[in-house]
A = this chain, B = another copy of it.
């Protein structure tokens, strides 16, 4: 194997492929990057759950393939001078030259590297990378980490007409984002569930306004940008029927400033810790929200101006769930909807299109 390639391009490709390399594995090949020089130069990282393959512009003078430690390869390329990198290998003994620097390190047999699953396209949707990136970051926090309901450790992707919806739920809260697609192929309606761990990698390969294709296969999902693909398995099982779970006839509606609400809640939360848990006691009055709590550390109280009459509704919340939703909400002003102190709270944009819905279940408050 023999190729040459610009340091900056190689570095970016190694960084991308390294995202899905296992940090520590009983199969040493999984701690490496598969380097394949054929008609193009391809780098692959695959931890058996999620795989990334990316193509690098390179001059290939002799084809071949081998596996090289991702950590070592990444560190070497990062420190090389900004110049052309000459890479050659014979019997897995790799020689890397760049400027006045030279390394000789041992690679391993590519046969030990597991094959990336091939994905037979059933349906496909495409969307701008920066839009998908924000949809993921604004829903991923609500994915469950409870392995007893594996289906909810991923996010639901649902394509209906020209719209993509992403939904995460964990039994205590729900996060939903809608956005128009840039194109689609396949059935009128299709849906699949993508593991949360894979989505946090998809988020990182997305940037700019170019589109990314999301391909639904029988057992896998493939995300494809210009030079890079990410493959992961689909989660199997029945996802929550979220449409039924979201209450739609709420009688109490108030609006407020996202940052002001978050600041008030964060302050009161300072006396809540993992050891000293206590719900936030929220009282929605006419024009003002009172937030209080009490733990072994002491008590805290805060007020936040709101618009509308909360009808003195008293409701308890897990502070973390409320903060997660307020941090993720892509709107400067929010509408909060309630029916009672024991029914879920909806968080929606105060104005304009309803492109997100967060739902947080209340927690029972002790008598004052």
Contact = CB atoms under 8 A, between A and B. Distances in A.
B266 A79 contact: yes
Interface in A96-125: 100-106
A266 B78 CA distance: 11
Contact of A104 (B80, B102, B298): B298
A72 interface: yes
A267 B79 contact: yes
Interface stretch (A8-16, A126-134, A240-248, A299-307): A299-307
Nearest to A298: B105
Nearest to A273: B72
Contacts of A197: none
A101 B302 contact: yes
A263 B104 contact: no
A270 B300 CA distance: 52
Nearest to A106: B298
A296 to B, nearest CB: 9
Interface in A70-86: 72, 75-76, 79-81
A79 B270 CA distance: 9
Interface in A239-281: 263-264, 266-267, 270-271
Contacts of A75: 270
Contact of A105 (B104, B105, B266, B297): B297
Interface in A301-357: 301-304
A174 B267 CA distance: 48
A263 B266 CA distance: 45
A101 B298 contact: no
A75 B263 CA distance: 13
A303 B97 CA distance: 12
Given A81-B263, A106-B298, A297-B72, A100 B303 contact: yes
Given A80-B267, A270-B72, A101 B297 contact: no
A185 to B, nearest CB: 46
A297 B266 CA distance: 49
A301 B101 CA distance: 6
Contacts of A270: 72, 75-76, 79, 103
B304 A100 contact: yes
Nearest to A98: B267
Contact of A101 (B81, B101, B264): B264
Contacts of A298: 103-106
24 contacts: A72-B270, A72-B271, A76-B267, A79-B263, A79-B267, A79-B270, A80-B267, A100-B302, A100-B303, A101-B264, A101-B301, A101-B302, A101-B303, A102-B300, A102-B301, A102-B302, A103-B270, A103-B271, A103-B301, A104-B299, A104-B300, A105-B271, A105-B297, A106-B298
Interface of A: 72, 75-76, 79-81, 100-106, 263-264, 266-267, 270-271, 297-304
